[in-house]
Amino acid sequence: MRVRRQEEGQSYTASSVPDAFFFERNRALPEPPLAFGRECGFADRVKPVSWIFFSLLFATARGQEAPAPGPPLATIKPGIRTTVRFTDSPPQSSDPVQVRYRLMAAEEPPAYDVSKESFEILLPVGWDGKSGLGLFIWIHSGDSPQIPKEWEKILTKHQLVFIGANRSGNPRNVFDRIRLAVDANHNVRQQLPIDGRRVYVSGFSGGSRVASMLGVAWGEMFSGAICCMGVNFYTDVAAPDGKVYGLSYLPDEDLLPLVKKSCRFALVTGEKDFNRANTLGAFENGFEKEGFAHTRVFEIPGHGHNPPPADWLDQALSFVDEGKSTSPAP
């Protein structure tokens, strides 16, 4: 995907955000429309005219009551991996103009229809069908959303629903990989009692790079990101290997202060991971330099370019869960 640094004037109005995803449930949230606009010639970057309501959403909102569980997700047996399909896409994924401009991409997103996609979902073992849950959205580098078997116990420990899209691996275009994660977020939250403060996007290698972009550019929808052996950033970053890794996207400048303050980013790498230098550079000369308040590197001794062991996933989840009222299950 190429980034457009300067754009002709264009504006549109998107539908309202479904809810503020970070905060406690059971309190009403206003849902004002979001107005998007683009001006050219601003230091080679296109500055949005307004996302003026985002600060209100983050500063004063405490979330909405999640809809009561309903089919098909509420009928799934906990602990059994199940294939599901959805028919609904929110404007954050269905509006191609919004998708393009959240990234400042030069390309037009291709046609997309979530009803033609499938997802793999896993509910925590022992879930009682009523208690609040977190959400762990996975983007793999391959076409099947596989995770190590031992991760399942960690996800249950943290009371997290796992979901990942099929056909969302590295061969798929970045726009669709993003849309699939957004649609998974939206549809699971419509049917299960998800705590909006505990909605995390994660991935491995190329999927992790997509997750790192979602955690920033769609930062109102994800309260944290766990990036395993791959990370992209929106500025050029110098790395310890002497290379400079170029920017991958340009997020909305009015949303950024809220993401920097509220979102948590766990950057997981290994001592022998070939993306280690890129990850360390993105941490020091990207997230830290840009003022992100809650970012940490987890470097696994002797580990190469593979998904992290379960105990390291546990550490990363504990980090992104910091400050939340929900305690991990024993």
Average pLDDT for 79-94: 96
Does position 299 have pLDDT exceeding 90, yes or no?
yes
Is it true that the peptide bond before 96 is cis, omega within 30 degrees of 0?
Answer: no
Angle at 93 between CA 117 and CA 136, to 5 degrees: 70
The answer for residues whose C-beta is within 8 angstroms of residue 112's C-beta and 6 or more apart is 89, 93, 94, 96, 175, 176, 179
Average pLDDT for 302-326: 93
User: What DSSP string runs through 222-290?
Assistant: -SEEEEES----SS-EE-TTS-EEPP-----TTTHHHHHHH-EEEEEEETT-TTHHHHHHHIIIIIITT
pLDDT of residue 324: 81
pLDDT of residue 323: 85
For 269-285, write each residue's pLDDT tens digit: 999 999 999 999 999 99
Average pLDDT for 278-296: 98
DSSP 299: E
Return the higher-pLDDT residue of 252 and 19. Answer: 252
Report the mean per-residue pLDDT for the chain: 83
- 213 neighbors 249 (Cβ within 8 angstroms): yes
Percentage of residues in the chain having pLDDT higher than 90: 75
Percentage of residues in the chain having pLDDT higher than 70: 77
pLDDT of residue 102: 97
For 130-155, write each residue's pLDDT tens digit: 999 999 999 999 999 999 999 999 99
Beta-bridged to residue 225, according to DSSP, are 201, 265
Residue identified by tokens 């290994």 is 270
CATH number of this structure's domain 67-320: 3.40.50.1820
pLDDT of residue 44: 30
Q: Which of 53-57, 91-95, 272-276 has the lowest mean pLDDT?
A: 53-57
Helix (H) or strand (E) holding 165: strand 160-165
The 3-state DSSP class for residue 40 equals: strand
For 17-44, write each residue's pLDDT tens digit: 333 333 332 222 222 222 222 222 222 3
Which of the four pLDDT bands, split at 50, 70 and 90, describes residue 3? low
Q: Where are the domains of the chain?
A: 67-320
For 174-184, write each residue's pLDDT tens digit: 999 999 999 99
Average pLDDT for 206-225: 98
Tell me the whole-structure pTM to 2 decimals: 0.81
Which of the four pLDDT bands, split at 50, 70 and 90, describes residue 4? low
pLDDT of residue 329: 53
pLDDT of residue 72: 72
Which of the four pLDDT bands, split at 50, 70 and 90, describes residue 173? very high
For residue 151, give the nearest of 202, 221, 117, 75 by alpha carbon.
Answer: 202
How many angstroms separate the CA atoms of 259 and 102, rounded?
14
Average pLDDT for 234-260: 96
Which of the four pLDDT bands, split at 50, 70 and 90, describes residue 74? confident
